[in-house]
Chains A and B, each alone.
Chain A
Amino acid sequence: MRDVAIIGTGQTKFGRWDKSNTELFCDAALEAMEEANVDQKDIEAVYAGAVFPGFEEGQCNIGGHLVGSLHLGNIPATRFEGACCSATVAIRDAYIWVASGFYDIVLAGGTERALSMGTPFATKTFAMANDCKYEGNVGITFPGVFAMAARRYSKIYDIPLDKLREKMAHVSMKNHKHGALNPLAQFYQKMGNLKVEDVLNARMACDPLTLLDCCPFSDGGAATIITSADIARRYTDEPVYILGVGQGSAGHLGAQEDITKPASRVFSSRSAFKHAGLGPKDIDIMEIHDCFTSAEIIASEAIGFFDWGKGADAVEEGQTDMGGRPVINPDGGLMGKGHPIGATGAAQVHTIVEEMKGKAPKGNQVDPVPEIGMTDTLGGGFNTLAHLILGRSRR
């Protein structure tokens, strides 16, 4: 297997867009291609995360339309769907195909127009990521999954629910503080100075989670250009290397042993660490799938940064804020930056790459420039997980 690098990334602003999924993907893709200095004829395949284009705008079979729009000839294009994890699954596959030598350069990214669906229908479609017969039909929502996880966490670790909610509020405060400083974020220049009470007293979404415990619905696109480490040097002096990849799966929530210790996330993150020959202590900067405040805490433990039951204390103490280690979601995360689900994983990679080039927005840039970074992306009720470990230096 060859070493693999990222030579370009692009991300649209996240928020509400009057553009199609194809347009959002292509805006991000062309930005990534310009940054990478790759010509259209250089790209050999397109891998695109897109979860609900059929529901959002009546678009299926989006891959061909991406290739046609970008004038990439007649190269193969494949849509990847793993709910909110789709783009990371696409990038992991791009990694594997490039590492194998089958392709030299792949365009991988994602797109989504979830905000444009409106809350009731978006909530309905997102809930389709659960088991349709035994979970979706009950009426569970994703805030509901992480509300249930929060109550379970409170019970298991004997943290009074009020205390746990205060600790969880710090996830929202931290990520909105960073998102408010990110010009590409949905909540740029908004909610940068939240207090615990603001989070606790916001409108209840799914008890005990308020709206400020939740990420928003979002529209947006993001893209990456993936090539071999050797070819990367022809295009850029600053490639970012993919050092390890992992992916994991699980069935319905009831069949998972403990929803506060998602085994699929443990499997996926351990796979990525093993692949990279690294461990949690090596990670300087981390993009975690903070779809909900409780979700970031659970993820920070499952990946191995904190002992079980200690992630809530860690965020409250600021261990994952700027100056902490690892810094978690310096770009605002899903909560502050937004969560166009098909694009989210590629946007996480975009952030890590920008950070490693020292080009992140003021207030988002980690100092010193991080050497090793990681992304964590979750699809559904821990049904699809994927992790990427990125580095400024080749192994």
Chain B
Amino acid sequence: MKEYYVLTAKDFYDGLKEDKLLGLRCKECGQITCPPLPTCQWCGSKDLEKTELSGNGEILTFTLTDVPPEGFEPHYIVCLVRLDEGPTIMGRLDYDAEKVTVKYERSQELIGKKVKAGHIVLPADKYSMGEKLVPLFKVV
């Protein structure tokens, strides 16, 4: 049978390992889908091609996790980043933890800051089907 995914989660993870943020360009509407789906996240087309994204974007929002899920070490920052190419993805933020809390009165100024994606590898757990590749953003 035909395989509809032009870019799978494994492909996406393999790209991240080399600090490449991979996505899909829609041949119908021209917009970018990331992380990968079998259809364009904007128009639903199946006519997609693999593309490498710049990794540049801006912070939409973030949080410091003090009570993590089992298997994660606490006090990491999770963020949503709107990529320059359009889509929004979740990742970690490499930043001073004290400056992302409510105790730091200017913490909200982080929203809108420009960031660039790299990656971190987190160890596999019982449920993760292998190691976890996570976009790691740094403020530029």
Contact = CB atoms under 8 A, between A and B. Distances in A.
Q: Do A and B come from one complex?
A: yes
Contact of B80 (A128, A139, A148): A148
A155 B35 contact: no
A339 to B, nearest CB: 16
A135 B67 contact: no
A206 B108 CA distance: 15
Nearest to B79: A148
B60 A152 contact: yes
Given A128-B127, A207-B100, A133 B35 contact: yes
B85 to A, nearest CB: 12
B9 A133 contact: yes
B69 A123 contact: yes
Interface size on B, as a range, is 35 or more
Nearest to B132: A137
A148 B78 contact: yes
B63 A155 contact: no
Contacts of B128: 132, 137
A255 B60 CA distance: 13
A151 B62 contact: yes
A119 interface: yes
Contact of A124 (B64, B69, B108): B69
A127 interface: yes
Chain A at the B interface: SS class: helix
A253 B90 contact: yes
B61 A148 contact: yes
Contacts of A151: 61-63, 108, 111
B89 to A, nearest CB: 5
Contact of A137 (B105, B111, B133): B133
Nearest to B91: A138
Contacts of B71: 124
Contact of B67 (A134, A138, A162, A205): A205
B38 to A, nearest CB: 12
B92 interface: yes
B102 A162 contact: yes
B127 to A, nearest CB: 7
B70 A120 contact: yes
B90 A135 contact: yes
Interface in A103-136: 119-121, 123-124, 126-128, 132-135
B23 to A, nearest CB: 11
Contacts of A208: 63, 101-102
Contacts of A223: none
A143 interface: yes
Interface string A148-162: 110110110000111
A298 interface: no
Interface in A90-105: none
Contact of A127 (B35, B69, B91, B134): B69
B66 interface: yes
B5 interface: no
B64 A254 contact: no
A143 B66 CA distance: 10
A141 B70 contact: no
A64 interface: no
Contacts of A140: 65, 78, 90
B76 A139 contact: yes
B102 A207 contact: yes
Nearest to A143: B67
B101 A138 contact: no
B54 interface: no
Interface string A196-232: 0000000011111000000000000000000000000
A148 B69 contact: no
Nearest to B88: A254
B107 A161 contact: yes
Nearest to B122: A137
A119 B67 contact: yes
Closest 9 CB pairs of A and B: A137-B132, A124-B69, A147-B63, A254-B88, A120-B70, A124-B70, A148-B61, A207-B64, A152-B61
7 contacts: A128-B127, A139-B78, A144-B63, A148-B63, A152-B61, A205-B67, A255-B41
Interface of A: 119-121, 123-124, 126-128, 132-135, 137-141, 143-144, 147-149, 151-152, 154-155, 160-162, 165, 204-208, 251-255, 259
Given A120-B69, A127-B69, A138-B91, 7 more contacts: A134-B89, A138-B134, A139-B68, A139-B69, A155-B61, A165-B102, A259-B61
Interface of B: 9, 12-13, 35, 37, 41, 60-72, 76, 78-80, 87-92, 100-102, 105, 107-108, 111, 122, 127-128, 132-135
